[in-house]
Structure formats: C-alpha cells, structure tokens
Amino acid sequence: MHETLDYGINFLNTRDFYGAGHNELLVGKAVKGRRDQAFISVKFEAIFHNGQPLGMDLRPIAIKNFINYSLTRLGIQTIDLYQPSRMDGNVPVEDIIGQFLQPISTNSYAKSMKKDWQNKLSNWHKLKLKSKT
C-alpha cells in the first residue's frame, strides 16, 4: 500500500470484517503519517464472534459501534466514505441513514458526513427522519 500511495493511487477500500478487522489494521499502518494522501472507504455490516461471521446488523447502535471500532483499528479520526455493504431489510432505511445524522464519538467524522448524507436523501426520507426527531 505504501508503493500504491507513492504512485498517487489514493483510494483505499476496505470492510470492517475483512480478516475480522485485520485489514483495517493494515490500512491504518499504511496511512500512518500519510493520512492526507489517502481517501479511505469502509464498508460495514457484519457481526463476528471468535473470528466467525454471525450475520449482519444495521441497527443504529451497531453502526455506532462499527464506526468506533473501525476508527480505532485504522488509527484515524475520520473516514472519507462510510457505507453499508448491503441493506438490511429488518431495519428501516431511515433508521440506518438517521444514524449518520447523529454525533458519533467525539471526532469530526459525523459533522463531515452529515452534509453529504443530507444532500443524498430523498424528500420522503427527509420527512420520515424529521418525524423521528
């Protein structure tokens, strides 16, 4: 990955469940001291126990946990693109998206994503989200 960044290829895409989080540790190591040279994309959804996948969980509390674990493993303060790898039919989409509109931890990630997510929401989802607040 160091050589990739040296050549100007800066899009680093990972999932929080690749290697049960080990891949994020590798990406974090690669961008240490070079964070401004990388665009980091993380997909999330999976729940693991003892390295074995148990399923997906896109409830807001799970998303909050997933992002905090990812930020810790990556050793960074912000993730440039954070997205579910697939949608969960058991969780309303407005609940999933609504999590991105809430403050997450004490980092600036939530602030930077709030505008981006609000720009992409349909009017119907905005009304649904507004009715929940």
| Gap between the Cα atoms of 67 and 59, Å rounded | 13
95, 60 in Cβ contact below 8 A? yes
Annotated catalytic, 18?
yes
117, 101 in Cβ contact below 8 A? yes
36, 65 in Cβ contact below 8 A? no
Query: Among 7, 18, 69, 109, which one carries the catalytic annotation?
Result: 18
Angle CA 109–32–9, to nearest 5: 85
Rounded to whole angstroms, the maximal C-alpha distance in the chain is 49
What residues are labeled active site? 18
